[in-house]
Structure 1
Amino acid sequence: MMSLKNLAMFVRVYELGSMSAAARDQRCSPAVASSRISELEKYLGVRLFNRTTRTLRATEHGKIFYQGARKVTEALAEAEAAVMETSQSPRGSIFVAAPLGIGRRLVAAQIPAFKDLYPEIDVRLRLSDRKLDLTGEGLDMALHMGPLPDSDLKVRMVAECPRVLAASPAYLSRRGTPLDGAALVQDRHDCLVLRFPGATEFQWTLMTQTGPKRYDISGPLESDDGDVLTDWALAGRGIILKPAFELAEHLRAGRLVPVCEDTPPAPVPLAWLFPHRRFTDPKVRLFSDYMTRQCRAAISGPAAQTRP
Structure 2
Amino acid sequence: MAYLDNVAVFVRVVELGNLSAAGRDMRISPAVASNRIKELEKHLGVRLFNRTTRQLTPTEQGRVFYDGAKKVLDAVADAEAAVSALSGQPRGTIRVTAPLGLGRRLLASGIPEFRDRYPDIEVRLRLSDHDVDMMREGIDVAFRLGVLEDSSLRMRGVLECERVLVAAPSYLDKRGEPKSPDDLLAHDCLMLRYPGAREHFWTVRTSDGPRKLDVRGPYDSDDGDVLTGWALAGHGIVMKPRFEVEPFLREHRLKTIMTDTPPIPVQLAAVYPHKKYQDPKVRLLLDFMAERCQRMIRDILDGH
TM-score relative to the length of structure 1 = 0.82
Residues 1:252 and 2:253 are matched in the alignment: no
Residue correspondence of structure 1 range 96-135 to structure 2 within 5 A: 96-135=96-135
User: Is the 1:22–1:136 Cα contact (8 Å) retained in structure 2?
Assistant: no
Distance 1:277 1:16 in 2: 22
SS at match of 1:40: helix
Q: After superposition, what is the alpha-carbon deviation per residue over 1:8-31, rounded to whole angstroms, capped at 9, x for unaligned?
A: 334444556655554455443443
Q: Please report the TM-score for the alignment, with normalisation by the length of structure 2.
A: 0.83
Task: Summarize the alignment of residues 79-228 of structure 1 with structure 2, pairs less than 5 Å apart.
Answer: 79-150=79-150, 152-185=152-185, 188-228=186-226
Q: State the Cα deviation string for residues 284-305 of structure 1 (Å, max 9, x = none).
A: 3322221122123334x25336
Q: Deviations over 1:20-57 (max 9, x none)?
A: 55445544344333332332232233344444444523
| Aligned position for 1:43 | 43
Counterpart check, 1:274 vs 2:275: no
1:286 alignment counterpart:
284
Deviations 1:195-239 (A, max 9, x none): 234435332111112221111212233333222322332333322
Is the Cα–Cα contact under 8 Å of residues 223 and 229 in structure 1 kept in the other structure? yes
- From the superposition, tell whether residues 261 and 77 of structure 1 become closer, same or farther in structure 2 (CA, over 3 Å): same
Structure 2 counterpart of 1:224, which letter? D
Distance in 2 between residues matched to 1:69 and 1:157, nearest whole Å: 33
Residues 241-250 or 85-94, more deviating: 85-94
Residue range with higher mean Cα deviation, 7-16 or 250-259: 7-16
Q: 1:71 and 1:216, CA in 2 relative to 1: closer, same or farther beyond 3 A?
A: closer
Tell me, yes or no, if the aligned pair for 2:16 and 2:137 is still in contact at 8 Å. Answer: no
Q: Is the 8 A contact 1:190 1:220 kept in 2?
A: yes
Match of 1:241 among 236, 239, 242: 239
**Alpha carbons 1:84, 1:282 under 8 Å: kept:** yes
Runs ≥4 in structure 1, deviation > 6 angstroms? none
Q: What's the Cα RMSD here?
A: 3.0
CA distance in 2, matches of 1:43, 1:198: 40
Alpha-carbon contact 2:14-2:57 (below 8 Å) kept:
no
Give ranges in structure 1 of 5+ residues lacking alignment: none
State the distance in 2 between where 1:18 and 1:63 align.
Answer: 15
Task: Please state whether the residue corresponding to 2:108 is helix, strand or coil.
Answer: helix
Between the aligned partners of 1:15 and 1:286, the Cα distance in structure 2 is 27
Check 1:25–1:136 CA distance in 2 against 1; reply closer, same or farther (3 A cut).
farther
Question: 1:100, 1:226 within 8 Å by CA — same for their partners in 2?
Answer: yes
Q: Is the 8 A contact 1:192 1:238 kept in 2?
A: yes
Q: Kindly tell me the number of residue pairs found equivalent between the two proteins.
A: 302
1:304 alignment partner AA: L
Give the Å deviation of 1:81. Answer: 0.4
List per-residue Cα deviations over 1:176-212 (Å, max 9, x = no partner): 3222212212xx1222222234435332111112221
What SS class does the counterpart of residue 247 from structure 2 fall into?
A: helix
Using a 3 Å threshold, how does the CA distance of structure 1 residues 15 and 208 change in structure 2: closer, same or farther?
same
